[in-house]
Chain A
């Protein structure tokens, strides 16, 4: 009896012994920066004071900023939905579904950092830019791009793959039987669309729209480049301005951040409501048979024209502009024979110590951020998988929270917090504060991948291990971990790539003497040689794509080989 109690106590102790440190880490990484922001916004000189917050909200400039941000978010959701909807239909319900390579190509816009795409568009459309040099007869029409809709287009082209992926999954789960039964009862195409398909994907769409909305209002790269040219300011650029341009005002940055968090909260409530109301069980024990429409003749051509035009706009134009600019010798003469050179690439690694240093810094940061968040994320996912009830939920939420909040908000919180405890923990102003920020921001990536890997491991495998006398540690090492490895590696890889080119955190908290690839590109674009910046952009895109392909081919094969 007492032996049993000791056993259960030690088990309990083991569980909490593992949970407590992880819980503390999440508290320090995620919750405290948020508290610091709210504190900073409403506590002035040691007493509760809402005047700064109220002043911030009612300031005419900030009202403009708030409307700009919300308008942008809504417009991007609509525009990326319009871009994604035909594609989702084409790549699920027609013969185009067989073209698997299309799935990969359609991910390119999402993998392109928006600041690089935005710079490409600026170089392409500005006065006497690449477009006007190629087609002088068009006059000033390309300059129309320098507008609200230009920003919306760039951001939608970046974010539509999100909605596409979610809609595709939803459509795949709607079996032919549902539509066919509607059709048997005489439903015409649009009636079926309206009464069957759309309501069924509504819940998923609400989630996709929410993610796109939050990403759109959190995005820094496009408003900081194109937005700045036309005086279009949003929350993120305003916060960034308050935190980085003299006279700096952390109070205002914190107030704006608090408002941004509140907006995100409201959007979650709405989305939760919509999703809860329109969720249907579609995946049952019975397999579903996909519904195919065979496109014929002119319709096939129209479909392909749509896909090609979309790819040219989303991938072709920005990359063309970036690549050509990186090869131009004198910007004043533009595209002209004899005005091309590869010097900018050579200079990048021969003459320019800052460039090669930036590259090394980014690799260092990306490697450590990815490795630490792979470990931490796996730990969090393991806790989520093994614990029941309330604490599980809390971990899940904490693990995913950074993904649901604008990056800049957490970064400002991290900055203010670590700056204030510098005397205790001198992390601020070292490169490790950047590692910490990236781990915090990108932890959800690993958590998501590992949680989904866990859900694919059948209980029977664990039972089999137990039957053959395996201790829990042994079972974890020999059964669970090998099965998780794929998820962990994919998470690692994504974190590596995203950290490698992250911009907003790097531009706010990088210590002196520390440029990374993104800040180097931004700095050269704004304050140095645009061509050198674009050369670095090409190099970094080639590098990240290369490492993606490399890891996919070699490492993941190795892992899969280990399993069998």
Chain B
């Protein structure tokens, strides 16, 4: 195999060529994320059309039917789990408008990475994230379009940001998931505070979803640190790390480790996922520690760079319809609209929350997530 000999030679040649291009200058690969523009360039907000009260899907108001007419083409929507919800929303929107929905379903970390990778040639029109603070940082980067969709006034107060760019169409919260075959009744002994779980009895029993992948875990973590303060907040996680807490992956992988009994307690498991597993009959249970949790609105946003703007606006309108809000409730998420209530889980106003500041969390969540993963020995 004499030819293998020239392999290094060719590579050296490649390196030389590289050097040559270097001398010529010009970096030819502009895939870096755009420089943060001041978010001041906000388009004037069109006045929302007054909503027709008491719309029902069975009896569509003519006005409602109209606003989904005359659309063609495609819309690119990037959404976090559950995949079933993304598929149903896409299907419902296509049935209503004839517009094809191309979805990318990934964790919040993957969606953000995809947006960064596509900065040179943006694809996405609508982005939904499982993290409000990550949504705010997209806004701070000047990436979002200000546009108030029809029906946004029905959202819970606090689910629309000050610049009308983020709309919390749904929300989730995190709690504690435990395997009932291994610990029959954790909720009666350890449900007051999060810190209670940093217990020597639970050595090698704790798991936590990866905050660099899961938006709800990262928001909870930064919210918790904000509420408790740097030193007290980190002390809890340091103790848990000492007791062998692991980070098995994003939400589903973390939940899976508790379902199969690889671990018996998941700290900061996302609620809708746990409710769905309990409904299936898996041997787990779920509670929110009494001191409170972080309720995490899942913002839907239109990108400035959208190539299918009318379709994108219609998609946000669609997410606020009764039909779409019901789909959201069906997967055990909290519906964003105050007049649509979930019957299978606590609603928006029934949750006890920690003291949070989304702007502080936006600034610190990346760094907190990385520090957390380093602490747990995960990459």
Contacts and interface: CB of A to CB of B under 8 A. Distances in A.
Interface stretch (B251-259, B293-301, B302-310, B317-325): B251-259
Contacts of B81: 527-528
Name the 8 nearest CB pairs between A and B, nearest first.
A246-B112, A512-B104, A128-B261, A38-B18, A332-B282, A332-B283, A231-B377, A527-B252
Contact of A528 (B26, B83, B87): B83
Contacts of B284: 332
Interface stretch (B55-63, B115-123, B156-164, B342-350): B115-123
Given A261-B11, A404-B7, A428-B121, 20 more contacts: A39-B27, A42-B22, A45-B27, A228-B378, A229-B248, A245-B110, A247-B112, A248-B117, A250-B32, A265-B8, A331-B259, A332-B179, A332-B259, A354-B83, A404-B4, A415-B117, A419-B31, A513-B104, A526-B253, A530-B256
Interface in A272-330: 272, 275, 330
A271 B3 CA distance: 13
Interface in B103-128: 103-104, 107-114, 116-118, 120-121, 123-124
A419 B121 contact: yes
A512 B213 contact: no
Q: Give chain A's interface residue range (CB within 8 Å of chain B).
A: 35 or more
A401 interface: yes
Contacts of B259: 331-332
Interface residues of B, number: 75
A245 B113 contact: yes
A423 B120 CA distance: 9
Interface stretch (A155-163, A390-398, A454-462): A390-398
A426 B377 CA distance: 40
B120 A245 contact: no
Contacts of A48: 22-23
Interface stretch (A28-36, A190-198, A536-544): A28-36
A554 B134 CA distance: 56
Contacts of B377: 231
Interface string B352-378: 000000000000001000000000111
A139 to B, nearest CB: 13
Interface in A49-88: none
B120 A527 contact: no
Contact of B103 (A44, A331, A417, A513): A513
A22 interface: no
A512 B102 contact: yes
A353 interface: yes
Contact of A46 (B27, B124, B212, B366): B27
Nearest to B86: A354
Nearest to A269: B8
A234 to B, nearest CB: 10
B72 interface: no
A46 B116 contact: no
B113 A248 contact: yes
A35 B22 contact: no
A246 B109 contact: yes
Given A513-B104, A527-B252, A128 B15 contact: no
B21 interface: yes
Contact of B26 (A38, A46, A416): A46
Contacts of B282: 330-332
Interface stretch (A236-244, A360-368, A465-473, A556-564): A236-244
Contacts of B262: 126-129
Nearest to B134: A246
B121 A423 contact: yes
Contact of B17 (A35, A245, A527): A35
5 contacts: A31-B14, A129-B262, A330-B282, A396-B6, A416-B29
Contact of B7 (A35, A36, A268): A268
A551 interface: no
Contact of B25 (A47, A129, A265, A527): A47
Contacts of A349: none
A34 B260 contact: no
Nearest to A333: B283
Nearest to B74: A513
B181 interface: yes
B379 A238 contact: yes
B76 interface: yes
Contact of B366 (A244, A247, A271, A404): A247
Interface in B255-303: 256, 259-263, 280-284
Given A416-B31, A429-B118, A527 B253 contact: yes
Contacts of B121: 419, 422-423, 426, 428-429
A127 B30 contact: no
Contacts of A275: 1, 4
B123 A126 contact: no
Contacts of A332: 179, 181, 259-261, 281-284
A43 B27 contact: yes
Nearest to A527: B252
Contacts of B108: 246
Contacts of A423: 121
A371 interface: no
B28 interface: yes
